[in-house]
Each structure stands twice: as C-alpha cells, then as structure tokens.
Structure 1
Amino acid sequence: MLTIADSGPRLVRVEAAIAWIELGGANTGNMLTRQQMTMLSEAIRLAGADPDVSVVAIAPGGGAFCLGRNGKGEPAEALPWDARQRQMGVTLDVYDAIAACPIPVVACVQGNAIGFGAALAGGCDITLAARSARFALPEIKHSIPATLAMSALIRKIPEKALAHLIYSGEEISAEDALALGLVSKVFPAETFEESCSAYLLALASRKRLLLETIKRYIAKAPQLSPEMASEYAGTLMALVKPSL
C-alpha cells in the first residue's frame, strides 16, 4: 500500500484504490516550480506502479487548481540552447508521466486552471471540473508559443478547438471547456467534492487490468489503420478476458 506523508508541496495518499496527488502551494495558486514539476512526475509514476492503486487523482491543495508555472528563482538571462531544452524537459516529463501511467489519471479541477495548469488538467485521461472553474492558455499574450501545452493536448481535443484556445488565449468557462473537449464532465460547484469522490470511487471499483486495457487501447488505436485497430481490439480482448 502506497502512503506518502507530507513531502513538501506534494501530498500523496491511497484510499479505496485511489491515489490522491495534491498540488501544494494554495497561497500561490498552486503554481509549480520546475523542481515541483519533477516531484509531480515522480508521484504519478510511483502511484501508477502500486498494484493496490486503480486510479490516480490530481487535485489542488485548496483554491485554484493550478495557475501555471512558477519561475521564481530562475535566471533572467538567456540560457544556452541545451540548458533551455533541459528546462523545458521538466514540463514535458509531467505529460509523459501521465501518458505512461498504466491506469487512468484524473484531474479534479475545482478552481481555475491557467497555462501549465490548463495543460495539466486537459492532458489527464479524465478531467472533472466544477462549474465555477475557468481555463486559459494565455501564453500568446506573453509572446510565448505554447508548444509544450499543445504537445499535452494535441491528441486530447480537436485541432480547431486547440487552435482557438492557443491563438486567442482567452479564458473560458468549464461548460465551454466541456464543449471543446478539454473537460470530461462538469459538476455543480457546491457539490463538486462529493460528486468527484463518487465518480472516482465508481471508477476505482473496477479491476485494474480492465482499466489498464482500456487506457492501452485508447493510447494505441488512433495510430493504427481501421483494420489494424480492429485486430488490436480483438487481440487485447482475447488476452485479458480470461483474467477479468
């Protein structure tokens, strides 16, 4: 059983086969430094490797979900290309950890998700949002091409929806995010915690192998031709059905 007590800005606990990863730093809108992003990636990988865990849930420690990246303490001067690439790699590693996690990773967005926060939320396998939550990818307003965020979302939402979010940089409601495919389901703000917990408990009650198989197919099938996708579906079913 995975149990991690307070580890700085991360708090991970397992309850009813759900591994909760809390984003620390409510006083700063849960903005994450690069070091904290590394901690988040490690927590996702650790939770996904625990055989007693069926679902990984990412939630804020209070207030906003995540208002973006915290660059405090980073050098203001331009860095060499290789150093800059390593910096960007920390962000990409979070998205890679979500994709590589064998079980569903669910974002529980009770507050606003801006910049990296929006990409993190939308990049998860399932995104649950309170109706009061707001989403934005405003990098273009700061003369930043949001290619890192796009890499997390390019296979999650339609191309034109992604282009609109990136080019406009506008803030949208949870309902608009649902319509664009950035969010999976919206709950009333006043009952969000109860509704989110009920959703997660129902999902975590399924056999881990079943959840793993579904995630594996969702990840691989879009890259295949229709014929190969059908064959892959049959192969997976034949392999796992005797164990379910």
Structure 2
Amino acid sequence: MSTTSPAATSDPATAPTEDAPVLYEVVSGVATLTLHRPHRRNAFTRAMLAAWADAIRRAASDPEVTVLLITGAGKGFCAGVDLEEFGSVTETLERRAFLADDVHEVARALEHFEKPYIAAINGDAIGAGMDMALMADIRLIADTARLSQGYVRVGLVPGDGGAHMLPRIVGEQRALELMWTGRFVGGAEAVELGIALELYPAEDLLPAARELAQQLAAGPPIAVRTIKRLTRIARTQSLEAHLVHAAAEQAVIQSTRDSAEAVTAFREKRTPVFEGR
C-alpha cells in the first residue's frame, strides 16, 4: 500500500506532482525520496535542497518510516549545483551563505538521521552530487552511472563534505587522486573501490534497492537505529570508550519489546513482528 504524508500533500515542494523538485512516498515502512529535475539531471536549486532536507526530517519523525531510500528521476542521480541558479550568486559572503545555509542543510539533516539511508545511484553523480551520494549509509549503483569529484575541473574544491567522507571510504591516497583529477568512475570501479556496495543493470537497480530497504524495514527498528548510532560514534571513540557505550546500549535494547519478540520468534521458529518500542 502506498501512502503520502499530509505534509507532503500540502507542500508543493515535496508533493508528488510533475513540477515538484522532490517526490516523497511511503510504502510498507520505506520512504522513497526521488530527486525530480530530470531535465537538469537533478542538479539542485535552493527549492530542491529545502524540499530534500524537509523530506529527511519528515522521515526521521515519522514512526511509520523505518528506512529512507533516495534515487533520481530520469538518467541522472544528481549533477550537483544548478549553475543557472548559482551563477547569480556573485558576492563572496553570499556564496559562502549559499553553501552553509542551503547546500549543507541536507548534510546537517542526515547527521541526525538515525534510520538506514540507502542511495540507488541511477545515473551520473557529479561534484556536490557525488558528495550527496556519499552521505548514504549504503550505496547501490547502476552499470550506466558515473561518479566524479568534478570540482577541480572548474577550479573549485569539494564544498559539500567530499574531502571529509571520501577518504574514509576509499583511503586518503585514492581520495586525493579522485579529487585532484576529477575523473569519472564507472559503476564497476565504484564497487571495486568500495564507494558502492553492489552493481546492477539500470533496470534492476531500483527493484534491488527496494528489496534491500524492505529487508531492513522488517528488522527490529530500535536495534537497527542503534547499530547505526554505534557505528557513527565509533569514528571518534577509543575502543575502551566504545565498549562502555555499547554495553550501555545493549542493556537498554535487551529491555525492549522488540528484543523479547525476537527471542520468542527465534524459539518458536517464526518470523518476528516488531513494534519499534
């Protein structure tokens, strides 16, 4: 069954119409966010960025949503900033504000998003578009898609977290090579480098991503979110601090209905049904 939240219906920036820069739909616990400017390869404008961040926050607060899936309409995933809009930003402080107040709003929304966030990279992801793809917890990619840290080709530097995220994924040496050259990485190489988890024919990508999303949505939601939280915080923790934190989280998890249901279902050899409490 497909549902759209009341907020999405009333908000023209996110309502599922042909003119919306972002589409948002919830089906069986999975929210699908589709970047919807196919005529511009989903290059983002201020309106798209605002709708994108709003959709992330909506998914975060909706108890019916357990997984968020993002993809692009048409042949592109995200071509980065729409130069037609950005070209009108000429003052130095205005350019900084455009990044800090508009572009980075998506990254900030995701920093506090504890549910699984899956990217189905259906087409080219370039510059900030690649940075946006790197923000996903899991990335699946089409065999026709290409990735590029293309900033250097126009004399710029990664402005949306690429220099922070990419070295953690591929290592500093490879990340520098990709950022310094701005070369294109095809889907197969993206998987080889660990940028994407799996490669699919273009027509199979979204069904595969939805199948993975549904698998995660069927899991115990509190444990799933806690695993993501533990993984993120481990980046800045010593092992000793992490073990203390993990023990505290585990003690709480074991007192939840989800944990009790999982144990009972295991003993009864049936599929568990989780309430998320």
TM-score when scaled to structure 1? 0.92
Secondary structure at the aligned position of 2:226 is classed as helix
Aligned pair count?
243
> 1:95 corresponds to which residue?
107
In structure 2, distance between residues paired with 1:49 and 1:131: 34
Letter in 1 for 2:81: R
| Pairing partner for 1:85 from 96, 103, 108 | 96
What displacement does 1:76 show? Answer: 4.2
User: Which deviations, in whole Å up to 9, do the C-alpha atoms of 1:156-210 show, x marking residues without a partner?
Assistant: 4422232121111000111211222221222233422322221111111112212
Work out whether residues 118 and 209 of structure 2, in 8 Å CA contact, stay in contact via their aligned partners in 1. Answer: no
Secondary structure at the aligned position of 1:57 is classed as strand
In structure 1, distance between residues paired with 2:144 and 2:255: 44
Work out whether residues 169 and 194 of structure 2, in 8 Å CA contact, stay in contact via their aligned partners in 1. Answer: yes
Secondary structure at the aligned position of 1:103 is classed as coil
Q: Does 1:26 align with 2:26?
A: no
Q: Which has the higher contact order (CA 8 A, sep 6+)?
A: 1
In structure 2, distance between residues paired with 1:113 and 1:138: 10
> 2:255 corresponds to which residue?
242
Gaps of 5+ in 1: none
Letter in 2 for 1:202: Q
What displacement does 1:34 show? Answer: 2.4
Q: Does 1:133 align with 2:145?
A: yes
What displacement does 1:54 show? Answer: 0.5
In structure 2, distance between residues paired with 1:144 and 1:21: 29
In structure 2, distance between residues paired with 1:187 and 1:75: 36
Gaps of 5+ in 2: 9-14, 260-277
Distance 1:187 1:241, change over 3 A: farther
| Pairing partner for 1:210 from 223, 226, 239 | 223
Distance 1:75 1:172, change over 3 A: closer
Letter in 2 for 1:88: L
Work out whether residues 111 and 134 of structure 1, in 8 Å CA contact, stay in contact via their aligned partners in 2. Answer: yes
- Cα RMSD of the aligned pairs, angstroms, is 1.9
In structure 1, distance between residues paired with 2:198 and 2:185: 15
| Pairing partner for 2:16 from 6, 13, 21 | 6
Distance 1:227 1:188, change over 3 A: same
Report % sequence identity: 25
Work out whether residues 158 and 181 of structure 1, in 8 Å CA contact, stay in contact via their aligned partners in 2. Answer: no
- Write out aligned runs for 1:7-156 (5 A): 8-74=20-86, 76=88, 78-81=90-93, 83-89=94-100, 90-148=102-160, 149-156=162-169
| Pairing partner for 1:175 from 188, 202, 213 | 188
Secondary structure at the aligned position of 2:183 is classed as coil
What displacement does 1:107 show? Answer: 0.8
TM-score when scaled to structure 2? 0.81
In structure 1, distance between residues paired with 2:108 and 2:172: 20
Work out whether residues 54 and 207 of structure 1, in 8 Å CA contact, stay in contact via their aligned partners in 2. Answer: no
